[in-house]
A and B are shown apart, each in its own frame.
Chain A
Amino acid sequence: MEIFLQFFLSGVTVGAIYALIALGFNIVYNTTSILNLAQGEFVVLGGLFMWLFFQKMELPYYISFFLTLLTAGIFAFLMERLTIKPLLKTGDPLLLILITIAFSILLKGLLMFIFGKDPYGYPPLLEGMPILLGGAVIQKQVLVILAFILLTMIFLYFFFNKTILGKAMKACAFDQVAAQLMGINISRMVMLSFVLSGIFAALAGILITPITFMEYDRGAILTIKAFTASILGGLGSIWGAIAGGFILGIAENLVAGYIHSGLKDAISLVLLLIMLLLKPAGLFQKEEEVRLKKL
C-alpha cells in the first residue's frame, strides 16, 4: 500500500506538470483551433529566464517571477504577430501546425544561444524537507504547483465564462465569421490567446524547474506529453486538460512501478489511441460540442 501511494503521489507530481502545460495548449486551441507545438519551448523559456533573473541577477523572487512572465508574453506576442498572423488567412491547419514547429526550433536555437547547453535550477518557493504522507514522500513544491493549478482554473473559468473578453475568445473558436459579424476583432483575440498560453507555459516552467531542472532541449518532449494529456481530456476543454494531465502522470508512474519502466511512455500512447478510436472528443467533452468547432 505504501508503495502504491508513493507511485500514486509521484504520478500526481508529474501529472500536475502535464496539466499546467496542457492548460496553455488548450487556450490557443480553444480560440483558434491551432495546435501550438511551440508550447514546450515556452515552458523551457520560463524556467531559464527565471533562473536568469532570480539566480544570476539576484532579483527578488516575485520580481523575477513577473519579469519572466512578461518575457514569455512578449515572445508569444512576437510569435503570433510574425508567424501566425500572416498565415491565419490561408486557413491551412497543416501549415499552421508546421509553422509552430519551425518557430519552436527557432526558439530552441535562441535559448541555446543565450543559455548554452547546461541544465539550470534554483531553490523552490517553499524550501525545507519533503512532507511524509502515510509512508510516502511528496515535495513541497508539488503543493505549490497544485495551488497554482487551482488558481489558474479559477481564473480561466471566470475569464472564459464571465468576462466579455473571454466570451469573445470562445466565440472565435466556434464560428469566426459569426464572431466577426458581432464586432469581435479576431486577430486581437488570436494574439491574446497566444500571449495567455505563452504566459501559462512559462508559469509551468518556473514551477517545475526547481524539481526537474531545465535545459534548452526539453521543450519537445514536454509538448508531446501536454498534447497527449489534452487529447485524453478532450482538446479545448479546460477541465479535460487538467484531468488528462493527472491521468497521464498517474498511469505512467503506476505502469513504470508495477509493470516495466520502459513501458511508461507506451501506456500513455495506448490510452491515447483507445481514446481516439472510442471517443475522439475526449473524456470530458460532448461529441456535439466538438463538432461545432472546426476540426
Chain B
Amino acid sequence: MKNFLNPYLGSFFLCSALILIGILSGDPYLMTVLTFAGLNALSALSLSLLMGLAGQISLGHNGFYGLGAYLSAIFFLHLKIPVILSILLSAGIASLFSIFLAIPALRLKGHYLAVATLAFGEIVYLLLNEWGPGGPSGFGNIPRISLGSFVLSSSQAYLILIWSLFFIFFVFSLNLSKSTYGKTLKALHNSEIALKTLGINLFTLKLKIFALSAFITALSGALYAHYVTFLSPATFSVFYSILILMMVMIGGLHNLWGAILGALFITFLPEILRVFKEYDILIYGTILTLGLLFFRKGLVYPFERLIYGSYSGSKKSQ
C-alpha cells in the first residue's frame, strides 16, 4: 500500500489503468474521449507547472497549442519533414514564441499578465484564421504519425502513445519540482524580491519556465493535429486556454496530480452531460460553479487528506 502512494508508481498505475480501460472496453468512443483527456492532461500539466509551481498566469496557451498543431502539419505537408521530426520541431519553434509571454511577465503580474498573455493567444488565433491553410474553415489530410513504413493508425496506438508521453512528462515534472531549479521556481511564486536579492536572473528564470510550458502544450497540439488529421482555427481560440485553466483549478493548483484529475473531469463532463441535450450548458456551468465553490483546493485535496491525513496538503507536490 505504501508503494502505491509513491507518485511515480501511482501515476504509472493510473496511466496504465486508463490505457487498459480504453483498450479492453473496445469502445471507439470511449477510446477517443480518453485520448482527448490525455492531450488535455498534457496541456493542463504544462499550465500547472507554470501556475502552480512558478506562480505565473497564462491565458495564452491556446496560442502554443495552435502553433504546435499548425506548424507540425505545415512542416510535413509543405516541407516534407518526417512526422516525428516535424512534431518535435514545431514544439521547439512554438516554445521560442514563449519569449512574447516572458517579456510581459517581467513587468506585469496578476490580472495584467493574464490580459497580456490572453492577447498573445488571441493574436495567434487571428493569424491562424487569416493566414492558416484553409482560413477559418481549416484544412485536412494531415498524415498520421509514422516512422519509416510503420504508420500509427489505430486509435489504440494513439491512446497508448499519448498517455505514455503524459507519464514521461509527469515524471519529468515531479523531478523538476524537486530539483534546485524547481525550488527556485517555487521561490519565484512566493517572493520575487527575495530571489532578486539572491542575484538570480529573473528574466532567464521566467523565460525557461514559459518555454518549457509552451513546449509541452505545443507538443500536445502537434499530437492533436496528427491524431485528428483535421485542423480548424476554432479549436485554438481563447476558450481552450480557459478550458485548461479550469482543469488546473478544478483539479487543484498546488499539486501536479490536479492536472490529471482536472483533465479527466473536465473532458468527461460534457460527454456525460450529452444525455441532458439542451440543458447541458446549464448543468455544465452549475457543476463548474459548485466545484469552484466547494472544492477550493481542487479535486485532489480529498485524496491528499485520505493519504496524508488532514494536516498536509503540499507534501505530495513538493
In the complex the two chains form, is A272's CB within 8 Å of B119's CB?
yes
Interface string of B122-137 (1 = CB under 8 A from A): 1100110110000000
Interface hub of B104, B127, B293 (most chain A Cβ within 10 A): B293
Interface hub of B51, B104, B239, B289 (most chain A Cβ within 10 A): B289
In the complex the two chains form, is B242's CB within 8 Å of A235's CB?
no
In the complex the two chains form, is A266's CB within 8 Å of B281's CB?
no
Question: Is there a chain A Cβ closer than 8 Å to B108's Cβ?
Answer: yes
What residues of B have a CB within 8 angstroms of the CB of A220 in the complex? 239
What residues of A have a CB within 8 angstroms of the CB of B108 in the complex? 276, 280
Secondary structure type dominating chain A contacts:
helix
What residues of A have a CB within 8 angstroms of the CB of B199 in the complex? none
Question: Is there a chain B Cβ closer than 8 Å to A181's Cβ?
Answer: no
In the complex the two chains form, is B129's CB within 8 Å of A95's CB?
no
Count residues of B near A (Cβ-Cβ below 8 Å).
Answer: 44
In the complex the two chains form, is A97's CB within 8 Å of B112's CB?
no
In the complex the two chains form, is B246's CB within 8 Å of A98's CB?
yes
Question: Is there a chain B Cβ closer than 8 Å to A7's Cβ?
Answer: no
Secondary structure type dominating chain B contacts:
helix
Stretch at the interface among A16-24, A108-116, A149-157, A244-252: A108-116
Contact of B293 among A97, A99, A110, A295 (CB under 8 A): A99
Stretch at the interface among A63-71, A85-93, A191-199, A204-212: A85-93
Nearest 10 A/B pairs, CB to CB: A106-B285, A109-B282, A109-B281, A105-B285, A102-B288, A262-B130, A102-B289, A269-B119, A266-B126, A276-B116
B positions within 8 Å CB-CB of A: 51, 57, 103-104, 107-112, 114-116, 118-120, 122-123, 126-127, 129-130, 238-239, 242, 245-246, 249, 253, 278-286, 288-289, 291-293, 296
13 contacts between A and B (CB under 8 A): A83-B293, A95-B292, A98-B246, A99-B289, A101-B246, A106-B282, A109-B279, A109-B283, A266-B130, A269-B119, A272-B119, A280-B107, A280-B112
A positions within 8 Å CB-CB of B: 33, 35, 83, 86-87, 90, 92-95, 97-99, 101-110, 112-113, 220, 224, 227, 231, 235, 260, 262-263, 265-266, 269-270, 272-273, 276-277, 280, 295
